[in-house]
Every structure is written in structure tokens, then in C-alpha cells.
């Protein structure tokens, strides 16, 4: 039985993509789970519809200290902090929101909670930015190059300060790019899958830059271990497979696996001015301290995700689907 069973566990951003997968796993393990969300509305949190009646939903905006009273009242024993402004590209036009959410929101939460057994701060691989060494190791000096990653690194540093000065029981995780069911179509993999399934033209850069992509359930495995393993306390740990793929190869793989007729327009988009050209994790620390390794291969995770997006599009567009019937419902006859 997991050490998290029966414990009060808080997941900030629990209705988000990764947070919802983590929340569902924790509920299944027997934890008493609370999630924070800006609005206590089932309509806005469909990712959790199957466990909605088994979790505590706390309406709170972490940027507002006054709204954290309900979080304190829950008295969490374990905290997973995932709530964030999480779109790298859009953060350049939403600078204040990205910094407030990721830096100030994290500091507010860490200030508000003190009596916990473990706090897992979910950082990001984006804090590495452009490096001369490869793959990215936890000992490298971070070089965040977007408002999103600067805010996340600021929150990480605040957590590290509390670890060092007050001996707070904190773990810092740096997950690399995630993908899987329920991810927003603003993320690269579901966006490409959706366009391919609908035979839309695929607009892309030349796609020479590489990323590594991790199936969401593999990352959740690491999150759970970070909440259990004694060796994780006080550590900064990458979570990633260490396998990189060029974006152009990713697009071609999805194009082939979906049987798409989409035109591939490489070079139709410019690279970002602050493009990170290579990204992959050195995951030795996760393997040694957590005993973690990815269970689901990238190709298998991609097939699962394609199947989920295909089913979602079917429900969203089919006139006879339950979603369409609900949209057309005007009350009892």
C-alpha cells in the first residue's frame, strides 16, 4: 500500500492536464484529496468528472493571499504544487500574469502553509533554457529565457530558500514536456494530432529543434514516488526519458500514424527569437533517488493519445453524440 493512502493531499492546479491525472491516481490510491481551482464549477473542470464527488474542491486564486484560508483549513500533509500560467509562447504577451501566477502565487502558497510532511514543487525543464552541455543535468546553472520559465524558476528559488533556511521538507521536480489524454490543443502534440485527423495543413518551423516528450502517466509515477521516497527530500530532480526527437520528425510520425492527408508546410513559421535548440533530461537522479523509470514507451503513449483525440473529436462533432444531445437539450418534454 502506498504511503499516500489515507493522507490529506493537496493538488494545486488539480483540474489541469497533469494535475487531473495525478488527482485521479491519488484518489484511486485512497488518499483524501483536495484540489484548488479558480472556480468551483464542474462545467470548467470536466477532466475530473469521474472523481468529482470523491475530492474536495477549494476555490482559490493563489495570487491572492486572502483566498488561501480554505487551503490552510484543509491542513494538507502532502502538497503537490502544479498551479501555474503554463504557456511558454503566450507568456511573452502575458508577462505580468505569468510572473504573478508562477512566482508570486508559489511564494504565497509556501508562506501560507507550514505544517506539512512534504511539499513537491513542480518546476519545469524550461528553466534550463539554452545550455552548452547536454543532456540537461540538475547541476547546471539555469538560464530561463521566457516569462513563463523565469516565473517558475523564481518560485523554485523561493522553495529552495525555505529548504535551506527553515529546513522545510520540500522536493523540486523538473518534468520535461508532457503529453497524453486531456491535454489542451494549444500544446504541440494534441495540436498536430487534431490538424492531422482533420486533414488541415500543418504549419511549422523547419523543425530542426529537438524536444523530449513524456507520456503523462510516466510523469505521474514520478510525482507519486517524489511524495513517498525519503531520499527525495531536499533534492532537485529531473523527470524525463532522456530521449529527444526533432519536431519535424515528430510531425511526420503523427502524420503517418493518423493516416493524414494534411500538407506539411515546414518553414512556414519562424523560429522563436529565444529558441532552445536541444532539450533532453539526464534522468540518473530520478532513477537513483526515486527508483523511477518510464513504463509507457513514447510510441505507445502516442498511440493512446491519438486514439483519445480521435474519440474526443468524434464526441465533439458527431450530431448524435451525448455532447451534442446535451447542447440541444431545452428541458423536459
**Dihedral sign (CA 95, 101, 102, 107):** positive
Q: What was the pLDDT predicted at 11? A: 98
8-180+215-242+275-296 has which fold?
Answer: Rossmann fold (3.40.50)
Q: Please measure the distance between the N-terminal and C-terminal CA atoms of the chain and give it in whole angstroms.
A: 50
C-alpha 68/C-alpha 59 separation (Å) is 9
Reduce the DSSP state of residue 328 to 3 states and report it. Answer: helix
pLDDT of amino acid 284: 98
In tens, the pLDDT along 119-170 reads 999 999 999 998 989 999 999 999 999 999 999 999 999 999 999 999 999 9
Give the per-residue pLDDT at 90: 87
Q: Using CA atoms in the order 212, 308, 195, 193, what is the torsion angle rounded to 10 degrees?
A: 20
> Beta strands 245-246 and 210-211: pairing type?
antiparallel
Task: Respond yes or no on whether the N-terminal peptide bond of residue 135 is cis (omega within 30° of 0).
Answer: yes
- Residue 122 has a pLDDT of 98
Reported as a single tens digit per residue, the pLDDT across 157-213 is: 999 999 999 999 999 999 999 999 999 988 999 999 999 999 999 999 999 999 999
Contact 172, 160 (CB under 8 A): yes
pLDDT at 333: 65
Residues of the chain predicted below pLDDT 70: 1, 42-44, 333
Name residues whose C-beta falls within 8 Å of residue 172's C-beta, 6 or more positions apart in sequence: 121, 123, 156, 159, 160, 235, 236, 237
Q: Distance between CA 185 and CA 198 in Å, rounded?
A: 13
Q: Which three cell numbers stand for residue 236?
A: 532537485
pTM of the predicted structure, to 2 decimals: 0.95
Q: What is the pLDDT of residue 316?
A: 86
Measure the CA–CA gap between 93 and 85, rounded to whole angstroms: 12
Please report the pLDDT score of residue 138 as a whole number: 98
pLDDT at 329: 85
Q: Which residue has the cell 518510464?
A: 294
Q: What span, in angstroms and rounded, lies between the C-alpha atoms of 190 and 30? A: 31
Domain parsing of the chain, residue ranges: 8-180+215-242+275-296
What sign has the CA pseudo-torsion 34, 39, 40, 44?
negative
Amino acid at each position: 500500500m502506498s504511503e499516500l493512502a489515507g493522507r490529506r493531499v493537496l493538488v494545486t492546479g488539480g483540474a489541469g492536464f497533469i494535475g487531473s491525472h495525478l488527482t485521479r491516481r491519488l484518489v484511486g490510491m485512497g488518499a483524501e484529496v483536495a484540489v484548488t481551482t479558480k472556480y468551483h464549477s464542474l462545467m470548467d473542470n470536466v477532466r475530473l468528472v469521474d472523481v468529482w464527488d470523491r475530492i474536495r474542491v477549494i476555490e482559490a486564486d493563489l495570487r491572492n493571499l486572502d483566498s488561501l484560508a480554505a487551503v490552510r483549513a484543509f491542513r494538507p500533509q502532502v502538497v503537490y504544487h502544479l498551479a501555474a500560467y503554463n504557456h511558454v509562447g503566450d507568456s511573452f504577451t502575458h508577462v505580468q500574469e505569468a510572473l504573478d501566477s508562477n512566482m508570486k502565487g508559489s511564494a504565497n502558497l509556501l508562506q501560507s502553509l507550514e505544517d506539512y510532511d512534504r511539499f513537491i514543487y513542480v518546476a519545469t525543464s524550461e528553466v534550463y533554457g539554452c545550455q552548452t552541455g547536454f543532456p540537461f543535468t540538475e547541476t547546471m546553472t539555469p538560464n530561463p529565457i521566457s516569462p513563463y520559465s523565469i516565473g517558475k524558476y523564481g518560485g523554485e528559488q523561493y522553495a529552495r530558500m525555505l529548504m535551506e533556511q527553515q529546513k522545510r521538507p520540500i522536493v523540486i521536480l523538473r518534468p520535461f514536456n508532457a503529453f497524453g489524454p486531456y491535454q489542451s490543443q494549444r500544446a504541440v502534440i494534441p495540436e498536430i494530432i487534431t490538424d492531422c485527423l482533420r486533414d488541415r495543413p500543418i504549419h511549422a518551423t523547419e523543425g530542426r529543434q529537438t524536444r523530449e516528450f513524456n507520456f503523462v502517466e510516466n510523469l505521474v509515477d514520478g510525482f507519486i514516488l517524489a511524495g513517498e521516497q525519503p531520499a527525495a527530500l531536499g533534492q532537485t530532480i529531473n523527470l524525463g526519458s532522456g530521449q529527444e526527437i526533432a519536431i519535424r520528425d515528430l510531425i511526420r510520425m503523427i502524420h503517418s500514424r493518423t493516416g493524414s492527408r494534411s500538407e506539411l508546410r515546414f518553414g512556414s513559421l519562424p523560429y522563436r527569437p529565444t529558441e532552445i535548440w536541444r532539450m533532453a533530461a539526464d534522468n540518473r537522479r530520478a532513477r537513483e533517488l526515486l527508483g523511477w523509470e518510464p513504463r509507457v514507451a513514447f510510441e505507445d503513449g502516442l498511440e493512446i493519445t491519438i486514439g483519445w483525440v480521435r474519440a474526443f473529436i468524434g464526441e465533439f462533432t458527431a450530431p448524435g453524440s451525448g455532447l451534442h444531445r446535451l447542447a440541444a437539450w431545452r428541458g423536459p418534454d
